[in-house]
Amino acid sequence: MNHHHEPGESRSNVFGGNSNWRGPIWMPINNMIIQSLRKYYKFYGPTYQYEFPTGSGNKLNLKQIGNELTKRLTKLFEPNADGKFQYHADDPDKKFTKDEHFKNLHLFYEFFDGDTGKGLGASHQTGWTALIANLIMEMDED
């Protein structure tokens, strides 16, 4: 079987196509992972450390790793070098990147491309993608 990286939309209909694959940046799963790291930190404490990112030689405790993952997710909602939000930086209509009424409004996409951060699926998933607000509020620096 030939496996390939699928950073966003599914290329296969094996499991119903795009209706079941929600990409690597799907806020509910990322939220659960980060919350779990924070809870394990409370048990294991600051001396229990892992290399993060893998291969870097940099050791962080579980809370620090959770905070770093939160920062990565937050970048989706911050302006990039061009002043555009990463999730619609390549907006073909330019409605969300040029129009003064829309360019500073956030869309809460269903999931995001793991390589580019492009917003995918429905753009109104405020029920679960808005979890980013909780992750930010719960983040504290060491």
Tell me 19's DSSP state: G
Q: What's the rounded Cα separation, in Å, for the pair 102 and 118?
A: 17
Output the furthest CA–CA distance in the chain (Å, rounded).
50
Q: Domain map of the chain by residue range?
A: 19-138
Confidence at residue 104, expressed as pLDDT on a 0 to 100 scale: 80
Q: What's the rounded Cα separation, in Å, for the pair 100 and 78?
A: 17
Q: Are 129 and 137 in contact (CB under 8 A)?
A: no
Confidence at residue 17, expressed as pLDDT on a 0 to 100 scale: 53
The yes-or-no verdict on residue 1 having pLDDT over 60 is: no
| Tens digits of residue pLDDT in 61-100 | 999 999 999 999 999 999 888 888 888 877 766 677 677 7
pTM of the model: 0.80
Confidence at residue 10, expressed as pLDDT on a 0 to 100 scale: 61
- More reliable by pLDDT, 141 or 116: 116
Rg (CA), the chain: 17
| Tens digits of residue pLDDT in 2-48 | 556 566 666 666 655 555 556 668 899 999 999 999 999 999 999 99
| Tens digits of residue pLDDT in 103-138 | 788 888 888 888 888 888 888 877 788 899 999 999
Please give the structure tokens belonging to residue 21.
């694959």
Confidence at residue 14, expressed as pLDDT on a 0 to 100 scale: 62
For 20, 66, 126, the CA distances from 16, given in Å and listed in that order, are 6, 32, 24
Confidence at residue 85, expressed as pLDDT on a 0 to 100 scale: 85
Confidence at residue 22, expressed as pLDDT on a 0 to 100 scale: 60
Confidence at residue 66, expressed as pLDDT on a 0 to 100 scale: 96
